[in-house]
Structure 1
Amino acid sequence: MNRYLKLLCLPPLLAALAACTTPAQSPEETLPGQPAPVEASDNAPLVVPDLNALRDTPARKLAGRFQRANWAEMPGWSNDDLSNFWPLFVRNCRGLMRQTSGNLAAPARATPRAWQPVCAAAAKLEGTPMDAAAVRQFLQMHLQPWQLNGADNRQAANTVTGYYEPLVRGSRRQGGVYQWPLYGVPEDLLTIDLGSVYPELAGKRVRGKLVGKRVVPYDTRASIEASGKRPPVIAWVDDPVDNFFLQVQGSGRVLLTDGPDAGTTMRVAYADHNGQPYVSIGRWLIDKGELRANEASMQNIRAWAQRNPARVREMLNANPAVVFFREEVVTDPELGPKGAYGIPLVAKRSIAVDASFVPLGTPVYLSTTWPSSDRPLQGLVFAQDTGAAIKGAARADLYWGFGDEAGAQAGRMKQRGQMWVLWPKQAGEPTAR
């Protein structure tokens, strides 16, 4: 999804709504000269290249430690309802079979050659009814669970947060209540891959712009607003707080309410950011004495903005970071935006991970609890997204889906969790490219 991911540094509700977040990495890149991968229809056949046709790239070291485990060791495994899981597994195989680029600035991906036999076996089952029992049998026949451990070689436990896709009201034209822009990528934005020049900085990127012969940091939110040359605007939103928190999530849907497109919904997906550090507007309001720490909810921030319309820009400009978007068509309302892996996210089946521990595309068994409770929340998910605030072994951000209910669950999510990585039996320990 390439969004801001939550780094929870305040109480849970404040953290979820006014979180100390940092931008995610860019999506997996294609090989030079190749077109970007096209997302195939769920009804299209799964095409798996021959093993010798999958060009390998140098291995990337994973920070995680893995311990071979049994299926019975994963709590709740036999209770996970896999009746609708098979199409998700096939779609993930399409991603696994993409050629790796070898670009060290992109997040680490599960090794395609390791997965080729498993995905080939899945392709042979095309047309075969796959109920929950058949899916479970296939997974247990072809995959091996590996417990994810920390540096102390004990099972890692870490924070599991949540994110979602919000809906806002907007227009393609500025006017009336539609005064709050969602920007596209500026023409003068530079993204510099430091690892291409200094190998020891692999994975590090900086954003900036060219002024004369010097590359300088890109403009802050306030500088962009004051500039006579703004980035292109994709849509104008009717509420500044909705606009802001859509940027926090990094992707969302816009219900267009006027003009020739009135009544239609478009998706705005993360495209890039200005490289400036994120500052929580909730923390800014607390520091200014405008709200108490236990009051910094989205509702109270919105109410403050309505009471103080002359200070709304001051509040927003306290955060110098800006997310830039691209427009996408919503082809299937049940699917979320594409994550950093380039695969559409699915509610409660997709997570963001630290790809240096769990490479993208990897099936993961996640054991955690429901938001603000001790009720078990356990099941198979796919590592399909990343974020700079999602760091460490077993750290995860669970995608809850679209709309207000998903937002309510995501906003309360700050639980502890553990992971088991599922990997092809014949391939040994998990590896990355």
Structure 2
Amino acid sequence: MKRVARWAVAAGIVGSLAACAVGPRVVLEPAPEVPAPGAAEPAARQHSKSRWVPVAWNALPGWGQDGLHDAWNALIQGCERPAAGFEAVCAEARPLAFADAPRQQAWMQERLQPYRVLEADGREPEGLLTGYYEPIMDATREPTATNRVPLHAVPAGLAAGQRWYTRQQIDTLPEAQAALRGRAIAWLADPIDALILQIQGSGRVNITEPDGRVRQVRLAFAAHNGHTYQSVGRWLLDQGAIREASWESIKAWARQNPERLNEMLWSNPRTVFFREEPMTPLTAAFGPRGAQGVPLTPGRSIAVDPQSIPYGTPVWLATQGPALATNRLVLAQDTGGAIVGAVRADLFTGWGGWNDEAYRQAATLKQPLRLWVLWPR
């Protein structure tokens, strides 16, 4: 989140941290790509970080077996800000929101052309799928004896893309702290929870107001300080401090090494700033707005490298692994600092706390990936 120009997580935990885990990578066998008899094949399409090669619909593994209703909701959300060339497609897609799956499938085959996503030089990619989610955490409006970790709004005068103070400088320099005075939106008890929320790019907080009332609000990505994201999980792995890059391992290490907590946190110079958004029944039914500017749909929105796949593009996703085995329609609606390359995606799994399914799936999702974009004919 963003990823919003978010910097999502890529690792064996959630989002970008998951990409920091090390281990063997299994490569999926390619599906047969059989052109339709007598069809005039369109030309390949070149992008700065990918090459799209046209294929027939029967080259998509599992095509026709996916229930398209949830994906259609994500498609309609994306049509709030359609990708260039999708305006006419979106106009036709909206009335089909309540059509049955066979009708929706037939329309897609008529209006869209599938392309296999390859590396920019045409090589077969080693795709990677990870997950991210929207954490739910408890917070207070004012600092308390236990809640001493602030989440800040954007500092006054910080321009988009501007390089600002590092995380360490924010914690140690009086001039950085002065610039953030009065900008705290909420306060957390655990600095690692604050880091998790920043890595995910947004979150829901059950915030206790000064009068004792508790209400849930969304802290959405607003900006970052212009520094490159560095994984604290990778930092710990490189030192041999932990054996797996999971939030449980990181928190356990922090409890055992409180004198080195800041050293670990400061290894990631990037800090994210938030804006507060009220929650309504409608906004609570979807995730935060991604980089495309539309609400994310659990299980159907992915973060991609926009130099490989433009925002708003329907994508056929195929993955097989212990965390998820599926062939499904998803929408490219977000990005993240760790989401780089032709066939690299982060699946938005939903929202929840530590014991909820959205977190568990995001934390364990790290497996091979194949992608096909569906582009207007």
TM-score range, shorter chain: 0.7 to 0.9
Contact 1:347 1:399 in 2 (8 A): yes
State the 1:286 CA deviation: 5.0
State the 1:256 CA deviation: 1.1
Please give the secondary structure, in 2, of the residue aligned with 1:162.
strand
State yes or no: 1:136 paired with 2:105.
yes
State how far apart, in whole Å, the 2-side matches of 1:287 and 1:148 are.
Answer: 33
Aligned to 1:330, which of 276, 279, 283? Answer: 279
Contact 2:246 2:363 in 1 (8 A): no
State yes or no: 1:413 paired with 2:365.
yes
Contact 1:16 1:411 in 2 (8 A): no
Deviations 1:216-244 (A, max 9, x none): xx211122122240421111012121111
Aligned to 2:74: 88
Aligned to 2:376: 424
Aligned to 1:378, which of 327, 331, 334? Answer: 327
State how far apart, in whole Å, the 1-side matches of 2:129 and 2:93 are.
Answer: 30
Deviations 1:93-152 (A, max 9, x none): 2211xxxxxxxxxxxxx32xx2232223234x37x8412222222212221212222234
Contact 1:165 1:401 in 2 (8 A): yes
Aligned to 1:30: none
Change (3 A) 1:322 1:20: farther
State the 1:396 CA deviation: 1.0
Contact 2:14 2:131 in 1 (8 A): no
State how far apart, in whole Å, the 2-side matches of 1:287 and 1:144 are.
Answer: 44
- Identical counterparts, % of pairs: 42
Aligned to 1:269: 220
Query: Once structures 1 and 2 are overlaid, which stretch shifts more, 350-359 or 296-305?
Result: 296-305
State how far apart, in whole Å, the 1-side matches of 2:235 and 2:75 are.
Answer: 43
Deviations 1:252-283 (A, max 9, x none): 11111343473311111111111223333334
State how far apart, in whole Å, the 2-side matches of 1:384 and 1:149 are.
Answer: 20
Query: Once structures 1 and 2 are overlaid, which stretch shifts more, 161-170 or 311-320?
Result: 311-320
Please give the secondary structure, in 2, of the residue aligned with 1:95.
coil
State the 1:181 CA deviation: 0.7
Aligned to 2:41: none
State yes or no: 1:119 paired with 2:90.
yes
Contact 1:337 1:345 in 2 (8 A): yes
Structure 1 stretches of 4+ with a deviation exceeding 6 A read none
State yes or no: 1:220 paired with 2:146.
no
Structure 2 residue runs of 5 or longer lacking an equivalent are 22-45
Q: What is the TM-score when the length of structure 1 is the normalising length? A: 0.72
State how far apart, in whole Å, the 2-side matches of 1:69 and 1:266 are.
Answer: 45
Please give the secondary structure, in 2, of the residue aligned with 1:264.
strand
Contact 1:224 1:230 in 2 (8 A): no
Aligned to 2:153: 184
Aligned to 1:237: 188
Q: 2:90 corresponds to which letter in structure 1?
A: C
Q: 2:371 corresponds to which letter in structure 1?
A: M
State how far apart, in whole Å, the 2-side matches of 1:363 and 1:285 are.
Answer: 37
State how far apart, in whole Å, the 2-side matches of 1:313 and 1:18 are.
Answer: 21
Contact 1:149 1:393 in 2 (8 A): yes
Change (3 A) 1:317 1:76: same
Matches for 1:25-424 after TM superposition, within 5 Å: 62-96=48-82, 110-111=83-84, 114-123=85-94, 125=95, 129-191=98-160, 206-208=161-163, 218-226=164-172, 227=174, 228-231=177-180, 232-260=183-211, 262-286=213-237, 291-294=241-244, 296-331=245-280, 332-370=283-321, 372=322, 376-403=325-352, 404-424=356-376
Aligned to 1:45: none
Please give the secondary structure, in 2, of the residue aligned with 1:175.
coil
Contact 1:367 1:377 in 2 (8 A): yes
Task: Compute the RMSD of aligned alpha carbons.
Answer: 2.7
How many residues get paired?
341
Q: 1:321 corresponds to which letter in structure 2?
A: R
State how far apart, in whole Å, the 1-side matches of 2:310 and 2:195 are.
Answer: 30
Please give the secondary structure, in 2, of the residue aligned with 1:4.
coil
State the 1:62 CA deviation: 4.5
State how far apart, in whole Å, the 1-side matches of 2:101 and 2:233 are.
Answer: 44
State the 1:157 CA deviation: 3.9
